[in-house]
Each structure stands twice: as structure tokens, then as C-alpha cells.
Amino acid sequence: MTTLTAAERVRTRASWLATHAAIATVLTLAPGVVYYYVADEFVGVLLGLLLAALALASLVASLVGGFVANARRRERMEAKPIANVSKVARERGRD
């Protein structure tokens, strides 16, 4: 069993998606460029650009997800004023 928190799982998935989206971008552009030089047609390049745009959209989405998860984690880990901490302790004592 994994002991990762929800934010850590999101960051892990986001970094995995970002890596694979970058690889997919390169892999989709390369055949289109090769096809252009071999067949002298621009259709392969356009198809490669379309697929690369999809891969880049995935990259952006995964990076945004990672940044959001990091921001939420940082927000939760920020130090709270002592007045807030003592208030929470008093409220727990009433239960």
C-alpha cells in the first residue's frame, strides 16, 4: 500500500503525464517532418502538428494540475497564528 497523500498522488501523476506528453510531442512531430522530406507533402507535417498540439494540451493540463496540488499543499502547511491554534485546542476540549 502506498502512503502518499492525495496532493502527492496528484503531483506524481502530473509529473508522469508531463513527461509522457513531452515525449509524445517529439514522437508526433518527428514522423511528420520525415514524411515531409521523403514525400514532399505537407499533410504529414500538419497531422504531426495536430497530434503535437494534443500532446502539448495534455502537458499543460498536467502541469496545471501539479501546480494546483502544490499550492493546496503549501496553503495547508502554512503556519497558523498562535491565537488560532489555541482556539482549536479549546474547541476540542469542549467536545
pLDDT score for 17 = 76
Residues 63-81: tens digit of each pLDDT: 787 777 777 777 776 666 6
Residue extents of the structural domains in the chain:
6-94
User: What pLDDT, in 10s, does the model give residues 16-25?
Assistant: 777 787 787 7
Other CB atoms within a 10 A radius of the CB of residue 69 amount to 20
Categorize the per-residue pLDDT at 88 as very low, low, confident or very high, splitting at 50, 70 and 90.
Answer: low
What is the model's pLDDT at position 31? Answer: 78
Mean pLDDT of the chain: 72
Reported as a pLDDT band with limits 50, 70 and 90, residue 87 is low
Q: Are 21 and 52 in contact (CB under 8 A)?
A: no
| Cβ atoms within 10 Å of 81's Cβ, excluding its own | 8
C-alpha cell, 57: 494540451
